Chains A and B, each alone.
Chain A
Amino acid sequence: MVVDAGAAADRPRRLYADSGLPDRLFRGVATGGGALVLAVMLLVGGFLTYRGWQALREAGWSFVTTAQWDPDARHFGIAAVITGTVLIAGVAIVFAVPLAIGTALYISEYAPFRLRRTLVSTIDLMAAVPSVVYGLWGLFFLQGKVIGLARWLSTYFGWIPLFKVDGADPNDPLATATVYTASTFVAGMVVAMMVTPIICSVIREVFSQAPIGEREGAYALGATRWGMIRSVVLPFGKGGMIGGTMLGLGRALGETIGVYMIISPVFVVQPHILQAGASSVSSLIALRYGEATPFAMSALMAAGLALFLMTLVVNFAASSIVARSRSGATAE
């Protein structure tokens, strides 16, 4: 009792500072904006769950394990499309990340100062090109040029299951080259063109924040420019590189039109990335949203929900990594 009274007596005075009307208004608007974004996100998730619930309840766990997509026959699942989505995004990242790191390094470290702004805006312009344009470019130009590479990969590395192509016979001059088209590989390359600018701008931003003191220190110790990059810029930007990659991955997972125009959709789990026939969740939705029955629409919503959750996880991981890397802790 006594102790309590003493504690009560010793309690510090409550501080109160009037931050003024403008401050409070600003705080309110900022908080409101943040909350709104969160609310929209929750609404999207809630809507997808609500609309997809009918299909999810009907399918149960088979929704995750079935490859076939035939909602009207009550036989449908996302095993094939999720695998396809991940594979396409994987191919995209494999192509985009080295390209983006190289571009970012050149812009932030090597390019002449006057050229730098032009290059940055060129990269930004690349992000502004509509994906349908990339799709057309991929379909009418890139695909024909990639066949050689795809055939070479499958001929010499076909023993790796990923590069195997069924029905291809490199010794038959009349064999069709179409088995190498409309594949995960080509779609992934097109998506790589779309995610490169995003990855590149994140990485460039982080690279340019590498502390000037350490850069000069490296030079003072006799490092070449590459030596400085290796010992200062790259370690400092490691978090940014990972974060940018994850952000790019998030975009690659959801890419629709570019993929939709390239691939020849199949609804079996297709691990052979060079072979004709691929699938992705977003292109499935784009192809089938004209479906007539409410149940088929519900199944599409459920597939959308799966993609939404997957992208959410990837993007949260990315943003947390980027946020941590901003401190520059690795280089200090």
Chain B
Amino acid sequence: MKKIRATAAAFALMLCSLLALGQSPVHADTYARISGSGSTWSQNALDQWRRNVTQYGMTVDYTGNGSTIGRQQFADHTVDFALSEIPYGMTEFGVREPPPTRGYAYMPIVAGGTAFMYNLKIGGRRVTNLRLNGDTVTKIFTGKITNWADKQIAADNPGLSLPSRKIIPVVRSDGAGSTAQFTLWMSKQHGALWNDYCRRLGKPVPCGLTSYYPVVPGSGFIAQNGSLGVSGYTRQNYAEGAITYVEYSYALTTGFPVAKVENAAGYYTEPTASNVAVALTKAQINQNKDSSQYLTQILDGVYTYQDSRVYPLSSYSYMILPTTLEAPMTAAKGKTLGAFGYYFLCQGQAQADPLGYSPLPINLVQAGFDQLRKIPGAVAQSINIAGCHNPTFSTSGVNTLVKNAPFPRACDKAGTQQCPSGTGGAQHISTPVKPSASTSGGGSTGGTTTGGSGTNVGTSGGSSGTTAGSTGGTAGTTTAGGTSGTAGTTTAGGVDPDTGLATGDSTGSSGGAQDIAASSVSVGADSFWGLRTWLMGISALLLLAVVVAPPALARRLARPGSTTGRRDERA
């Protein structure tokens, strides 16, 4: 026994020493532990980055509890840094948020698109290619459209016959930067609808952005906290019919599709890294270095940018950095924060795309460096653009991501066609579309469709500049190639040959599935005294019998002579 114990002790000692060895890898620098809190919109990226930097001996703690609480905790000196989508000083329902008393600066950390992740099935098959225009989205999230079979949604989706199912908008219950970005977009682009919603809630109009999404009690809206909360709720089986706004990354990680949103050029696009990058070339960045709002964004130009690749709800996420040595900030922490910032502005950006974000362009990375140098304790000379491996950089200074961004396919254009290919986390699952809206319907179909899309460019363009012209050109190529059916369309799309094949395969089977889904099954109104109620009554009786019968039976069987014993037990 003693021997065993001794061996065990030796073994434990060895394990401990191994652990101790493992914990202190050899590195030149030591870093103080830093902590932050805030946005869940950009949390997936930050979590990846802080996992990566543990190899350099940096420990970064982060709590994703919403941008509002992040900003509040930064102002309260609780955390070293905060992440937020909106800056301080925004006015929400007439209340202006005061800026913090400690020194601070904004630094963009990553770009991304606020996506509309949804959970919808047609005839038991998941829909992955839903399209919505801005007006429809706003009406859904203001309670004007409550059913998936609504005419306006059908107009967006000529290839789908959606079931008559209730729409469950899932919104954020905590103070969120996502909510702020989304409501800002609604107030700028669909102000009348949004103001009307505010009026119904008794809020002062005109109401701009808000971090707390207001909900009408009993309207069927579900509010959950955090991006993980809303995306996690939407993905559940019971939440069929739900739609939520969340960063694209969460749709990718949960394997769910996102709605393609119509941009100003009349194309339905997805918030891919390149679409977001193209959109944000029109973001107005505050270039006044002396302003406290330096580097913050104005997105009005993004919403209306007439490029066919734009995803309209694109935005940057920011880190709020301390610029003074006030508690809890120390010079040692500043060194960690500076090194961490340099890591994610450069190398870290390479992971943005696979995670569902979009990397920062070179001008913002350089501006970010300036901000990093303001952190007390940050090692300034190690922050330089040489050796910065950011995928958007090129030798000519052109943003490679924007230059190489693929144009949307012709079937993504508003009109009578609809792409069957999947979106978001469900990219590899296509949804069959009606033959009439299919792109691979042969020569004649191809011809008519292109004609239709041609007129659409004209109408949506309005003051169509060169961009509209170039999109028209693209559509033109499609027709030219489209003489030979499927093959032509695939080349024109040029994004994913696999989806082109899938289109051809599924077209035949699509018709039948649609018709089944469209008609809802009506089950005869059950009277209360139906079979089910009787069965429930019987099972309740049986349960009672199982509990009561054995003791009663036992007593009856053992009656002779045992009555006194029972009386004693009770006493």
| Chain A interface (Cβ < 8 Å from any Cβ of B) | 72-73, 139-140, 143-144, 147, 156, 166-167, 171, 173-182, 218, 221-224, 227, 231, 260-261, 264-268, 270, 276-277, 287-293, 296
Which residues on the B side are within 8 Å of A293 (C-beta)?
A: 95
Question: Is A224 in contact with B68, judged by CB distance below 8 angstroms?
Answer: no
| Chain B interface (Cβ < 8 Å from any Cβ of A) | 66, 68-72, 92-98, 163-166, 168, 173-175, 202-204, 211-212, 215, 217-218, 220-225, 229, 232-233, 236-242, 520-521, 523, 525-526, 533, 536, 565, 568-571
Question: Is B523 in contact with A290, judged by CB distance below 8 angstroms?
Answer: no
- Report the separation of the CA atoms of residues A181 and B234 in the bound assembly, to the nearest whole angstrom: 12
Question: Is A290 in contact with B569, judged by CB distance below 8 angstroms?
Answer: no
Besides the known contacts A140-B232, A177-B240, A277-B218, 8 further A-B residue pairs in the complex with CB atoms under 8 A apart: A156-B533, A167-B218, A171-B523, A176-B240, A178-B168, A224-B569, A231-B571, A292-B92
25 contacts between A and B (CB under 8 A): A72-B95, A73-B202, A143-B236, A144-B237, A147-B238, A173-B520, A176-B165, A176-B239, A176-B240, A178-B239, A178-B241, A178-B242, A181-B222, A182-B222, A221-B571, A227-B569, A266-B218, A268-B217, A277-B217, A290-B70, A290-B72, A292-B95, A292-B98, A293-B95, A296-B95
User: Which of B68, B163, B212, B239 makes the CB contact (< 8 A) with A181?
Assistant: B239
- Report the separation of the CA atoms of residues A50 and B242 in the bound assembly, to the nearest whole angstrom: 44
Give the Cβ gap from B69 to chain A, nearest Cβ, in Å. Answer: 4
- Report the separation of the CA atoms of residues A147 and B94 in the bound assembly, to the nearest whole angstrom: 40
Give the Cβ gap from A132 to chain B, nearest Cβ, in Å. Answer: 11
Which secondary structure dominates where chain B touches chain A?
loop
Question: Is B94 in contact with A174, judged by CB distance below 8 angstroms?
Answer: no
- Report the separation of the CA atoms of residues A287 and B239 in the bound assembly, to the nearest whole angstrom: 23
Give the Cβ gap from B113 to chain A, nearest Cβ, in Å. Answer: 24
Cβ-closest 7 pairs across A and B: A290-B68, A290-B69, A177-B238, A292-B97, A227-B569, A290-B72, A268-B217
Question: Is B240 in contact with A261, judged by CB distance below 8 angstroms?
Answer: no
Which residues on the A side are within 8 Å of B164 (C-beta)?
A: 174
Which residues on the A side are within 8 Å of B221 (C-beta)?
A: 264
Give the Cβ gap from B514 to chain A, nearest Cβ, in Å. Answer: 16
Contacts known (A166-B218, A178-B220, A178-B239); A261 close to B165, Cβ less than 8 A: no
Question: Is A292 in contact with B96, judged by CB distance below 8 angstroms?
Answer: yes
Question: Is A174 in contact with B168, judged by CB distance below 8 angstroms?
Answer: no
Contacts known (A147-B238, A173-B521, A268-B217); A178 close to B570, Cβ less than 8 A: no
Chain A: CB-nearest residue to B218: A166
Which residues on the B side are within 8 Å of A267 (C-beta)?
A: 217
Chain A: CB-nearest residue to B223: A264
Which residues on the B side are within 8 Å of A265 (C-beta)?
A: 173, 223
Which residues on the B side are within 8 Å of A222 (C-beta)?
A: 565, 568-569
Chain A: CB-nearest residue to B224: A264
Chain B: CB-nearest residue to A269: B217
Give the Cβ gap from A92 to chain B, nearest Cβ, in Å. Answer: 20
- Report the separation of the CA atoms of residues A174 and B122 in the bound assembly, to the nearest whole angstrom: 11
Question: Is A176 in contact with B233, judged by CB distance below 8 angstroms?
Answer: no
User: Which of B68, B72, B237, B523 makes the CB contact (< 8 A) with A173?
Assistant: B523
- Report the separation of the CA atoms of residues A293 and B98 in the bound assembly, to the nearest whole angstrom: 8
Question: Is A176 in contact with B520, judged by CB distance below 8 angstroms?
Answer: no
Which residues on the A side are within 8 Å of B72 (C-beta)?
A: 289-292
The winner among B96, B163, B222 for most chain A CB atoms within 10 A is B222
Which residues on the A side are within 8 Å of B568 (C-beta)?
A: 221-223
Give the Cβ gap from B285 to chain A, nearest Cβ, in Å. Answer: 25
Chain B: CB-nearest residue to A180: B238
Give the Cβ gap from A286 to chain B, nearest Cβ, in Å. Answer: 8
Question: Is A174 in contact with B163, judged by CB distance below 8 angstroms?
Answer: yes
Question: Is B233 in contact with A139, judged by CB distance below 8 angstroms?
Answer: yes
- Report the separation of the CA atoms of residues A299 and B211 in the bound assembly, to the nearest whole angstrom: 19
Give the Cβ gap from B63 to chain A, nearest Cβ, in Å. Answer: 11
Question: Is B229 in contact with A261, judged by CB distance below 8 angstroms?
Answer: yes
Question: Is B173 in contact with A72, judged by CB distance below 8 angstroms?
Answer: no
Chain A: CB-nearest residue to B526: A171
- Report the separation of the CA atoms of residues A137 and B477 in the bound assembly, to the nearest whole angstrom: 53
Which residues on the B side are within 8 Å of A156 (C-beta)?
A: 533, 536
Which residues on the A side are within 8 Å of B71 (C-beta)?
A: 290
Chain A: CB-nearest residue to B237: A144
- Report the separation of the CA atoms of residues A291 and B241 in the bound assembly, to the nearest whole angstrom: 32
- Report the separation of the CA atoms of residues A73 and B232 in the bound assembly, to the nearest whole angstrom: 33
User: Which of A171, A181, A266, A291 makes the CB contact (< 8 A) with B217?
Assistant: A266
Question: Is A290 in contact with B236, judged by CB distance below 8 angstroms?
Answer: no
Which residues on the A side are within 8 Å of B215 (C-beta)?
A: 264, 266
- Report the separation of the CA atoms of residues A167 and B168 in the bound assembly, to the nearest whole angstrom: 13
- Report the separation of the CA atoms of residues A265 and B63 in the bound assembly, to the nearest whole angstrom: 22
